[in-house]
DNA sequence: TTGTAGGCGTTATCAG
DNA sequence: CTGATAACGCCTACAA
């Protein structure tokens, strides 16, 4: 217990103080309560193993000395940080932030913390975040990304693949716990809704087709066309990047192509809102001359002019489910439940941006 | 080096392996590279103190053994977690998430991580996050909150106030590093813009008046009126809660009160968008019959119908500035710069939701 | 330029 | 129910 280098100092206690942090630690509590550190630790983590009166004394000491357990030390000992990384290209996006909110909800309820991992779409950054798991800065990672960290593709010789949960459309052969909605059916549902209203020429604005999710929604669109015996026309497909501006631009290009169509299914609400603004600028009435459908159910869509018909995604619940899968993955191997994929229900929300085609739109 | 309890086992090396984590540690690297752990540590943190050839050997070992330094152990030793908490009522909000994005930008550039602290407006939750600093889960906290943790008001006897940065309007007597814009002047600017267009009866939709920021913007509105020799009329003030719905509702109530007015200044873009939807539902033309101004410059405002006139706030830059202040606070006391408050410039963005009052609106 | 070794504050094992 | 004591993996005087 004595410092070896305390060379000839009369007062043995004094020098130690110089080297001690200002915060009380578990040893101080033990001394103050007249018990051993082991008992303090137990009182905190497994109170059932400690006599009630002892607990009281310890609690009093904790209050007296204003003690806060050092999480770094506990983590080092337990080999856990109680952090989970959530990797997203950007947080500046209502869909993403709703998802993160969901993750935080259940993380907090389970004494875990969310570490934000913003990648800006860069795989190298994503790899660095992944390395943080090996470095014990986090216990696992939830991916709301288009790309995958390298470890998943080629696991390192010795090491194991860290706890990962996917919340994006990754190739189905990938053996990762995942949460998602049925993008395929949801997109088809949009087309059916429009077809039932009487639309025959239905355009679509997709997300970046390099992303699985975009491809899936486009495939769903085609499925919807087929189900309603409508022909697919590549001229009615415009690619956006999920942003307002790209929705606006895609709408303009669709209009300028000169092909006839009376409705447009957008791969997300942002682009639908962008499309709406393009239509408004050109004086094309929605829904009279053009029906518009979004995807996501952002609250901004409900207050747009006109309020946007869209697919509701339980985004927060998706985040909550993802975090639950993560908690499962963090369980000791023998307790891990086998559940691997969660598919949450979507639903169509019909507002005022869709209606039966009434007037014929003139070519511009 | 030997386990004391290794009682009579012939192979000395074997049992140890059972107790060792699967990950390589600094000792393994040292052994593999034929140097001491101190040298490895130095090679990683202060390469200038190590001979280049030694560094090479160490780097080779790191690659060979797939080594990742244990951040928990390093943190325990250095008494730092390299995490910063960002406390927000909710992340599900474009303004907040832009701010967080800014924080993350500079945190990442300085090898720090952002821990999300969602409080849902609950002070107890905020206090718990604050305690995480004492518990070394984080080194400091950035507040985008309406309330303050208790420690700020009454610092504990022994302990010190942890590193905190404020990014909301707190009472000016509070000695906290802070970032903000000049809400007072910005709100006055909105009113002047409307007055210059010819508006004489200007309503306002405020945020929750329990919040400093809302009070400030309301005071700015009054200042603007005074500057333009317009009379303040309490009947033209409606209180919202910054949400789309509340903006909608406030607009409706303003309209139903029956008082004449030709313009409305909203305390944020969400409420302005809500107000727009209420006007649209009632067939009141914007800007012909009613001018509407927002505050924040969310990108959704630019694509609204009509595009929203608003105050631009450099939100991401605000977050970046906040994180820089935090980094300053984390410096050893002797190096801490005195800079304490950062005020970033706002500006008025005139779009199509404001114009000179043309027609007289009829009472509903 | 490199090595030795103490200690950061916990938890968990083992022994009473 | 409680106590003593190894680790956990790293950093940093201090010594060489």
Site from B300, B316, B320 to mutate, A interface, most A CB atoms within 10 angstroms: B300
The helix (H) or strand (E) run that includes residue B323 is helix B315-330
Nearest nt (C1') from B68 Cα: D9
Is the model's pLDDT at B334 over the cut of 90? no
B-facing residues of A in 247-306 (CB < 8 A) are: 248, 273-274, 276-277, 280, 299-300, 302-306
How far is Cα B96 from Cα B140, in angstroms, rounded to an integer? 19
B15 touches chain A (CB under 8 A): no
Beta bridge partners of A349: A310
A-facing residues of B in 31-60 (CB < 8 A) are: none
Lowest pLDDT segment from A251-260, A335-344, B136-145, B196-205 = A335-344
Contact call for B134 and A104, based on CB within 8 A: no
CA B263 from centroid of its chain's CA atoms: 31
Q: Is the CB of B6 under 7 A from strand D?
A: no
Which residue's structure tokens are 């029906």?
Answer: A291
Contact call for B116 and A100, based on CB within 8 A: yes
B136 touches chain A (CB under 8 A): yes
Contact between residue A167 and residue A99 where contact means Cβ atoms under 8 Å apart: yes
Whole-angstrom Cα Rg for chain A: 28
Report angle CA A76, A78, A82 to the nearest 5 degrees: 85
A64's torsion region: left (phi>0), alpha (psi -120 to 50) or beta? Answer: alpha
How far is Cα A195 from Cα A211, in angstroms, rounded to an integer? 27
Cα-Cα-Cα-Cα dihedral sign, residues A151, A155, A158, A162: positive
DSSP B48: G
What is the mean predicted confidence (pLDDT) over B116-137? 95
For every residue of B183-216, DSSP letters joined together read: HHHHHHHHHHHHHHHT--SEEEEE--TTSHHHHH
Gap from B77 CA to D9 C1', Å: 9
What is the mean predicted confidence (pLDDT) over B45-50? 92
B175 touches chain A (CB under 8 A): no
Beta bridge partners of A312: A296, A347
Contact between residue A346 and residue A181 where contact means Cβ atoms under 8 Å apart: yes
Contact between residue A282 and residue A310 where contact means Cβ atoms under 8 Å apart: no
The pTM of the full predicted model, rounded to 2 decimals, is 0.90
What is the mean predicted confidence (pLDDT) over B222-242? 97
Cα-Cα-Cα-Cα dihedral sign, residues B194, B195, B200, B205: positive
Is the model's pLDDT at B57 over the cut of 80? yes
CATH class of A9-162: alpha beta
Q: Is the CB of A136 under 7 A from strand C?
A: no
Contact between residue B107 and residue B51 where contact means Cβ atoms under 8 Å apart: no
| Helix (DSSP H) and strand (DSSP E) numbers for chain B | 14, 12
What is the mean predicted confidence (pLDDT) over A36-55? 94
Whether B9-162 and B183-313 share one fold: the answer is yes
Q: Which residues contact A179 (CB under 8 A, 6 or more apart)?
A: A165, A166, A167, A318, A321, A322, A325, A341, A342, A343, A344
Is the model's pLDDT at B8 over the cut of 60? no
Q: Is the CB of B12 under 7 A from strand D?
A: no
Is the model's pLDDT at A203 over the cut of 60? yes
How far is Cα A5 from Cα A12, in angstroms, rounded to an integer? 11
CA distance A95 to chain B (A): 8
Contact call for B23 and A273, based on CB within 8 A: no
Strands (E), chain B: 83-88, 113-118, 140-143, 164-166, 178-181, 202-206, 237-239, 263-266, 291-293, 310-312, 341-344, 347-349
| Higher pLDDT pick, B116 / B6 | B116
Strand C bases within 7 angstroms of protein beta carbons: 1-14
A136 touches chain B (CB under 8 A): yes
Nearest nt (C1') from B55 Cα: C1
Query: Residues of A from 31 to 60 whose C-beta is within 7 A of strand C: which are they?
Result: 37-38, 41, 44-45
Domain ranges of chain A: 9-162, 183-313
Q: Classify domain A183-313 by CATH architecture.
A: 3-Layer(aba) Sandwich (3.40)
Contact call for A92 and B101, based on CB within 8 A: yes
Nearest nt (C1') from A70 Cα: C9
Beta bridge partners of B310: B349
Contact between residue B110 and residue B82 where contact means Cβ atoms under 8 Å apart: no
Is the model's pLDDT at A326 over the cut of 90? yes
Lowest pLDDT segment from A208-212, B99-103, B173-177, B295-299 = B173-177
DSSP A361: P
pLDDT tens per residue, range A263-273: 999 999 999 99
CA distance B228 to chain A (A): 33
Structure tokens at A203: 């355009």
Cα-Cα-Cα-Cα dihedral sign, residues B58, B62, B67, B68: positive
Gap from A136 CA to D3 C1', Å: 31
Gap from A30 CA to C7 C1', Å: 19
Per-residue confidence (pLDDT) for residue A359, from 0 to 100: 59
Gap from B351 CA to C11 C1', Å: 62
Contact between residue A43 and residue A53 where contact means Cβ atoms under 8 Å apart: no
What is the mean predicted confidence (pLDDT) over B295-317? 97
Look at residue B149 and give its three-state secondary structure. Answer: coil
Query: Nucleotide C8: nearest residue by CA–C1'?
Result: B77
Gap from B78 CA to C2 C1', Å: 22
Beta bridge partners of A141: A85, A164
Q: Is the CB of B226 under 7 A from strand D?
A: no
Cα–Cα distances in Å, from B91 out to B97, B144, B267, B271? 6, 10, 19, 17
What is the mean predicted confidence (pLDDT) over B272-279? 98
Strands (E), A103-197: 113-118, 140-143, 164-166, 178-181
CA distance B286 to chain A (A): 12
How far is Cα A324 from Cα A314, in angstroms, rounded to an integer? 15
Task: Count the neighbouring beta carbons within 10 Å of the beta carbon of residue B9.
Answer: 11
Cα-Cα-Cα-Cα dihedral sign, residues A315, A318, A323, A324: positive
B166's torsion region: left (phi>0), alpha (psi -120 to 50) or beta? Answer: beta
Report the half-sphere exposure of A37 (CA within 13 A, side-chain side).
Answer: 6
How far is Cα B325 from Cα A69, in angstroms, rounded to an integer? 27
Average pLDDT of the residues of chain B = 90
What is the mean predicted confidence (pLDDT) over B50-66? 93
Report the half-sphere exposure of B67 (CA within 13 A, side-chain side).
Answer: 22
Residue A156 burial (CB < 10 Å; 0-12/13-18/19+)?
exposed
The helix (H) or strand (E) run that includes residue A276 is helix A269-281
Whole-angstrom Cα Rg for chain B: 28
What is the mean predicted confidence (pLDDT) over A30-55? 94
| Helix (DSSP H) and strand (DSSP E) numbers for chain A | 14, 12
Contact between residue B204 and residue B218 where contact means Cβ atoms under 8 Å apart: yes
Per-residue confidence (pLDDT) for residue A1, from 0 to 100: 29
Label residue A340 by pLDDT band (50, 70, 90). confident
How far is Cα A188 from Cα A186, in angstroms, rounded to an integer? 5
CA distance B9 to chain A (A): 26
How far is Cα A36 from Cα A30, in angstroms, rounded to an integer? 5
Per-residue confidence (pLDDT) for residue A3, from 0 to 100: 31
Q: Is the CB of B29 under 7 A from strand C?
A: no
Site from A65, A91, A104 to mutate, B interface, most B CB atoms within 10 angstroms: A91
């Amino acid at each position: 217990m004595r410092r070896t280098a305390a060379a000839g100092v009369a007062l043995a206690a004094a020098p130690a103080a110089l080297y001690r942090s200002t915060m009380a630690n578990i040893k101080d509590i033990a001394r103050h309560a007249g018990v051993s550190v082991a008992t303090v630790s137990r009182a905190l983590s497994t109170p059932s193993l400690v006599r009630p009166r002892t607990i009281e004394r310890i609690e009093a000491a904790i209050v007296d000395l204003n003690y806060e357990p050092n999480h770094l030390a506990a983590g080092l000992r337990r080999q856990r940080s109680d952090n989970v990384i959530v990797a997203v290209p950007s947080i500046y996006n209502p869909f993403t932030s709703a998802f993160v909110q969901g993750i935080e909800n259940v993380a907090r309820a389970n004494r875990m913390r969310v570490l934000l991992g913003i990648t800006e779409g860069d795989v190298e950054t994503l790899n660095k975040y992944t390395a943080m798991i090996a470095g014990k800065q986090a216990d696992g990672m939830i991916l709301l990304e288009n790309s995958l960290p390298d470890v998943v593709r080629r696991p390192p010789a010795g090491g194991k693949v860290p706890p990962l949960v996917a919340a994006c459309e990754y190739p189905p052969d990938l053996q990762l716990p995942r949460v998602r909605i049925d993008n395929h059916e949801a997109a088809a549902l949009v087309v059916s809704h429009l077809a039932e209203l009487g639309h025959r020429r239905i355009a679509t604005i997709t997300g970046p087709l390099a992303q699985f999710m975009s491809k899936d929604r486009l495939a769903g669109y085609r499925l919807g066309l087929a189900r309603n015996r409508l022909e697919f026309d590549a001229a009615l497909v415009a690619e956006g990047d999920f942003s307002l501006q790209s929705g606006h631009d895609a709408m303009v290009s669709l209009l300028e192509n000169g092909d006839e169509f009376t409705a447009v299914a957008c791969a997300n609400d942002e682009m639908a809102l962008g499309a709406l603004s393009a239509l408004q600028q050109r004086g094309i009435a929605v829904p009279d001359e053009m029906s518009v459908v979004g995807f996501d159910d952002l609250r901004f869509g409900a207050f747009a002019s006109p309020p946007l018909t869209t697919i509701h995604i339980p985004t927060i619940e998706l985040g909550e489910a993802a975090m639950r899968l993560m908690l499962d993955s963090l369980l000791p191997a023998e307790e891990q439940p086998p559940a691997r994929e969660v598919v949450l229900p979507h639903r169509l929300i019909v507002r005022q941006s869709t209606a039966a085609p009434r007037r014929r739109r003139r070519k511009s």
